[in-house]
Amino acid sequence: MEAVKIRESIYWTGVKDWNLEEFHGYKTPNGSTYNSYLILDEKIALIDGAKHYLSHQNIARVKSVIDFSKIDYIIVNHVEMDHSGNIPELVKLAPQATIVTNSAGKMALEAHFDTEGWNFQIIKTGDVLSLGKRNLTFVTTPLLHWPDSMMTYCPEEKILFSNDGFGQHYCANTIWVKEAPFDIVCNEAKSYYANILYPYGMQAQKALNTASELNLDIEMIATGHGCIWEGKEEVSWILNSYAKWASAQNDGSAVVVYDTMWGATAKLAETITSVFEDAGIRVVKRSLSNKHIAEVMTDILEAKYVVIGTPTLNNELFPRVAAFVTYLKGLAPKNKKGFAFASYGWKPGVVNKIQAVMEELKWDTIAPFEEKYTPKSDVLEKLKEHTKTIFD
């Protein structure tokens, strides 16, 4: 397994996880990568590791360029196991190397591994590590998405080694965005933000502001997952997208998400969808029986309206809806308008559990709507009029 040169004396030494189907509870149909980078200079630095079960790939790619005994620094941008799982193995191969991370990173490494005998260098935002011809500037990005998260910037090459920021869970025959289907990469980047970084919009905005304050001139974003963004057009697209997503901007669209038992809730969902369509609003209708919650969250990221429906089962939310609402609450999307709807057999009220989550998220809501058994035409007309009040 050979390393891939991304700049003169800078290599991708990451691994490809083609078989990954789920990550953090969300669907990853295109697998993922765990990217690691090697910089050869007067001092040699390895940036990030990989998942433990793919460590052999990471090690082989490093060895295709240089022996581990020559590595001076192992930079740990993030201690989550997909990036640090093989750090103990790398330290055994390069015991002379200094582990460069921030204080939270050191504490996390000590919590996960036996770090006795490890050499640490603790950094903070703005600190600079000289490799010789090149320098590395560090930007701590706490809670984007772990307390230890940070990014590493090389001004001479204008490369930002961004770890989890700006990445995608996407595995391909290439490591470059420019050589992959751009629409797929962009959707995977959107899905990544929606399903992992969504709760951390404030932290994402802070990271973008810090990059601006430090005058980081970025021509390449070497991510921790997926493909590398290269060139002003690609870099601008992902930076501008993060700025939009982090500020909770919406595109005016609508998402109607529901599950159904005997078809009653599906009829309500279809009626609500028709109201948005008739109003000229782009809308998608997602049944949780055939759409994964991760796909729905990707739809919700840029939507203005979100309407959620459930049948009643044993006086509770339908199981897939309950799972979705729990997932939604944790990701905490802001600045949405919506309402809940439900069907029931003999006891009403379960709809209020969805409505309560919307209100907890501080969404702009209208009253919930529920109907007993199969809705008749007059009920569907009432639902249409009710739905229209969301535009007020």
48 assigned to active site: no
More confident residue, 374 or 87: 87
* pLDDT at position 215: 80
pLDDT in tens, 42-81: 999 999 999 999 999 999 999 999 999 999 999 999 999 8
* 11, 48, 73, 78: the active-site residue: 78
Please determine, looking at this structure, whether the domain spanning 253-391 carries the CATH number 3.40.50.360. Answer: yes
* 2, 21, 22, 24: the active-site residue: 24
* pLDDT at position 202: 84
169 assigned to active site: no
Provide mean pLDDT across the span 101-130. 96
pLDDT for residue 24 is more than 80: no
Q: Which of 215-219, 249-253, 347-351 has the highest mean pLDDT?
A: 249-253
Q: Which is the CATH superfamily of the domain at 4-246?
A: Ribonuclease Z/Hydroxyacylglutathione hydrolase-like (3.60.15.10)
Domain residues of the chain, as ranges? 4-246, 253-391
pLDDT for residue 159 is more than 90: yes
164 assigned to active site: yes
pLDDT for residue 178 is more than 80: yes
pLDDT for residue 385 is more than 90: yes
pLDDT in tens, 204-226: 888 888 877 778 899 999 999 99
Question: pLDDT grade, residue 392 (50/70/90)?
Answer: confident
Report the chain's mean pLDDT, rounded to a whole number.
Answer: 94
42 assigned to active site: no
pLDDT in tens, 26-53: 888 999 999 999 999 999 999 999 999 9
pLDDT for residue 351 is more than 90: yes
SS (HEC) of the chain: CCCEEEECCEEECCEEECCCCEECCEECCCCEEECCEEECCCCCEEECCCCHHHHHHHHHHHHCCCCHHHCCEEECCCCCHHHHCCHHHHHHHCCCCEEEECHHHHHHHHHHCCCCCCEEEECCCCCEEECCCCEEEEEECCCCCCCCCEEEEECCCCEEEEECCCCCCCCCCCCEHHHCCHHHHHHHHHHHHHHHHHHHHHHHHHHHHHHHHCCCCCCEEEECCCCEEECHHHHHHHHHHHHHHHCCCCCCEEEEEECCCCCHHHHHHHHHHHHHHHCCCCEEEEECCCCCHHHHHHHHHCEEEEEEEEEEECCEECHHHHHHHHHHHHHCCCCCEEEEEEEECCCCCCHHHHHHHHHHCCCEECCCEEEECCCCHHHHHHHHHHHHHHHC
Counting residues of the chain whose pLDDT is more than 70, the rounded percentage is: 100
Provide mean pLDDT across the span 136-155. 91
CATH fold match for the domains 4-246 and 253-391: no
193 assigned to active site: no
145 assigned to active site: yes
